[in-house]
Structure 1
């Protein structure tokens, strides 16, 4: 894809997007919480039932939403560092 292509457009044309229905649907209980496998995306991606992203920055975010964004961003940075060359 050209560098000028929007990330969400690239996602929609990706094999991952086309085969997302094949992602595991199993729920795993972790410390009493039932959790599903999710793909973590940055804010440019759409929120999907298999793709999680942070809340859009707004002065109206609750402290819980802001905290969620911080944790999710930290997770994304860790993954990006793991794949960096």
Structure 2
């Protein structure tokens, strides 16, 4: 008999600050700690660029966030 087990990685260790991208909305957040950060790229949700929160879903939650691999450029209007 074959025994199978699915193992899902739901957390990981991160070095802060770090840019994370939402898997569901494409929002990019600059996290300064596990649950604290600022929106730096608006996605498909209501949070605008500059929105700051101390209660985000944990940055290490791989079911919601992935490390942002792109490049962002910030500038004044």
Q: Same fold (TM over 0.5)?
A: no
TM-score range (shorter-chain normalised) is under 0.3
More helix by share: 1
TM-score, length basis structure 1: 0.21
> Which has the larger share of strand?
2
